[in-house]
Amino acid sequence: MSSSPSALIASYRLHAASCIEIARDLEPARKLALLNIAQAWLNLAEQIAKNLDTVLVYETPANPPDFQ
């Protein structure tokens, strides 16, 4: 089962928001750990967004190289 990129971005941002919400009531060490996890979720969402803008095109060479 695959999700659309926009659904994944929204899901990852929601995970990050959940981490931030939970972190509010934690002691500093655990808060920092959870905020780092939230940042990782946001980084994943950003990477998906960047990948949507990336277009890879491979063109077969007209004259393939001779490896002999």
Is a pLDDT exceeding 70 seen at residue 20? yes
Distance CA 42, CA 3 (A): 17
Question: Global pTM?
Answer: 0.75
Band (pLDDT 50/70/90 cuts) for residue 61 is: confident
Is a pLDDT exceeding 70 seen at residue 27? yes
More confident residue, 60 or 6: 6
Please give the C-alpha separations between residue 33 and each of 1, 28, 54, in angstroms, as whole numbers. 30, 9, 32
Band (pLDDT 50/70/90 cuts) for residue 1 is: low
CA angle (35 as vertex; 31, 36 as ends), nearest 5: 120
Model pLDDT, residue 58: 80
